[in-house]
Structure 1
Amino acid sequence: MKGRVLIVAGSDSGGGAGIQADIKAVTALNAFAMTAVTALTAQNTQGVHGVVGVDPAFIRQQMAVVLDDLGADAIKTGMLHSVPVIAAVCDELAARARGIPLVVDPVMIAKGGHPLIAADAIATLKARLLPIATVITPNLPEAEALVDRPIRTLAEMRGAVDALRSLGAPCVVLKGGHMDGDTLTDLLVTADGSEEFTAPRIDTRHTHGTGCTLASAIAAGLAQGMAVREAVVRARAYVQAAIAAAPGYGAGHGPLDHAITFDPARLPR
């Protein structure tokens, strides 16, 4: 096991997304997952049925005790649902986590359409969190909210990545999964330029938690000393394999097979 990843995000009681997906992804890639829970959700494959926020002071305490004792080689943020929560996380990062790579998944809407961030918190996310991120990983609806323009085509994706990078993060992974078509394209832009990654779309409804999983997989790579591009390439391959092997659970958008890297047959008998 190599690499410590502190995950600051919300819980998904259905296990497919949020902290649960984050822990599974980091573990599957042979890194060590630690958490600071920002919210509890009553959630399954059919949607979010309730949300209870965690006191921002307690979120800071969770982060502080982990960082002071265990330390971290990378940090990943997910659901930060309000201005006070974002402010608390940013304050704690400034106090204890300077210089640690930060992957920000700007979670805004659940797979079923339930909003996971207050409308007034998006400005705070842009002003305080994105400028200190190493990598941000928005999907198309999230990117549209961040740059305040529609993104419907590959050309518009190409135009949006520079606008996203201007918000402060040196590296942007813009995910194209919400775009129609048989081919999925993700864009990576860094100080070295931009790159497009394409793959055939997997015909399945079982894609719950793909964004959380990708961001945590990237964070695991950074924690293990990978460069951003190397971490992104491995993370995409992991997510694609996990989607293809999805177990088919639930009546809605089901979870991935996060354990795709694990072979029980290798265990001693």
Structure 2
Amino acid sequence: MKNVLSIAGVDPSGGAGILADIKVFIAHKVYAMGVVTATTSQNTKGIFGMELVDSKIISDGIKAIFEDIKVDAIKIGVVPSVDIINAVASTLREIKNRPPIILDPVMACKNGDIWLEGEAKEAIVKYLFPISTIITPNKFEAQEILKFEIKSKDDMIEAAKRLLNFGVKAVFLKGGEIDGNSVDLFLGRDEFKFFETKRLQTNSTHGSGCSLSSAIAANLANGLTLNDSVRLAKDYVFNAINKSFKVGSGCNPINHFYDFY
């Protein structure tokens, strides 16, 4: 069995963050590990508070895992301060034979609300992008980084190309709704591919971004190519949304274990 590490925050409702990552890892038959960066007061209706974990304990936690366990892939989610970003980046840079890193640069919600501001946002781009195998921003995060509005497929290609210039090896850009479909773009150094699916009329999308990046991580750990890892992760999240069940009264979580039942 392969081992995958999530470095992310805690959503107590279980729909997103490190708890969602663990569910995804289990669903993909990899051994789940996690280092917590922050804990929140949160449910399906929103985030009401956040407490950050000390950056040293985060760094020490990562080191402890690598000193003992072979890690086959790393997923990075919420890293909500400059200190935490620096701690994660510097710790991972010291690791020899570093496994693939899948970075979900969490800066914005699906509705476009930007919650990570200023220096922390810039630090993610400066310190984490260059060590990442692939990043998975949504449209609003890409727009915030690039100061470039994304309205079409051509805009998506241009945005993804610009993101590659920050040193990341590949980009999976979640474009949201374009011409009535949900459109995403995978762009590597030598290839690109659009993924289009019908737009599901549902609010059961809580945690979909976290789950996509952790599914890519699990697929890479299991030995799949980056192209296949992205494609299968996209299918997994689509089915998890389509086969969701009611949990709370807000933005409902996806069904991570749809294939189990």
Shorter-chain TM band = over 0.9
Q: Map 1:9-158; keep pairs closer than 5 Å.
A: 9-96=8-95, 98-111=97-110, 115-158=114-157
Structure 1 pair 114–58 and aligned structure 2 pair: CA distance change class (3 A):
farther
Q: Map 1:165-176; keep pairs closer than 5 Å.
A: 165-176=164-175
Structure 1 runs (4+) greater than 4 angstroms displaced: 111-116
SS class of match (2:154): helix
Conserved 8 A contact 1:136-1:169:
yes
Structure 1 pair 49–86 and aligned structure 2 pair: CA distance change class (3 A):
same
Hey, what's the Cα distance between the residues in 1 that align with 2:258 and 2:114? Answer: 30
State the AA in 2 paired with 1:205: N
Q: Map 1:201-212; keep pairs closer than 5 Å.
A: 201-212=199-210
TM-score by length of structure 2 reads: 0.96
SS class of match (1:120): helix
Question: Which whole-Å deviations, capped at 9, do the CAs of 1:239-258 have from their partners, x for residues lacking one?
Answer: 01100111122111110110
| Runs (5+) with no aligned partner, structure 1 | 264-269
Hey, what's the Cα distance between the residues in 2 that align with 1:62 and 1:229? Answer: 31
Hey, what's the Cα distance between the residues in 2 that align with 1:231 and 1:113? Answer: 27
Conserved 8 A contact 2:101-2:132:
yes
Question: Which whole-Å deviations, capped at 9, do the CAs of 1:178-222 have from their partners, x for residues lacking one?
Answer: x35421111001122211111101110110000000000000011
Conserved 8 A contact 2:4-2:71:
yes
SS class of match (1:175): strand
TM-score by length of structure 1 reads: 0.93
Hey, what's the Cα distance between the residues in 1 that align with 2:8 and 2:115? Answer: 11
Conserved 8 A contact 2:78-2:106:
yes
C-alpha displacement at 1:97, in angstroms?
5.4
What's the counterpart of residue 240 of structure 2? 242
> Greater CA deviation, 12-21 or 180-189?
180-189
| Runs (5+) with no aligned partner, structure 2 | none
Hey, what's the Cα distance between the residues in 1 that align with 2:160 and 2:112? Answer: 24
Conserved 8 A contact 1:106-1:137:
yes
Structure 1 pair 45–216 and aligned structure 2 pair: CA distance change class (3 A):
same
Conserved 8 A contact 2:244-2:258:
no
SS class of match (2:213): helix
> Greater CA deviation, 220-229 or 88-97?
88-97
What's the counterpart of residue 213 of structure 1? 211
Question: Which whole-Å deviations, capped at 9, do the CAs of 1:47-97 have from their partners, x for residues lacking one?
Answer: 001100000001111111111112210001000111100000011101225
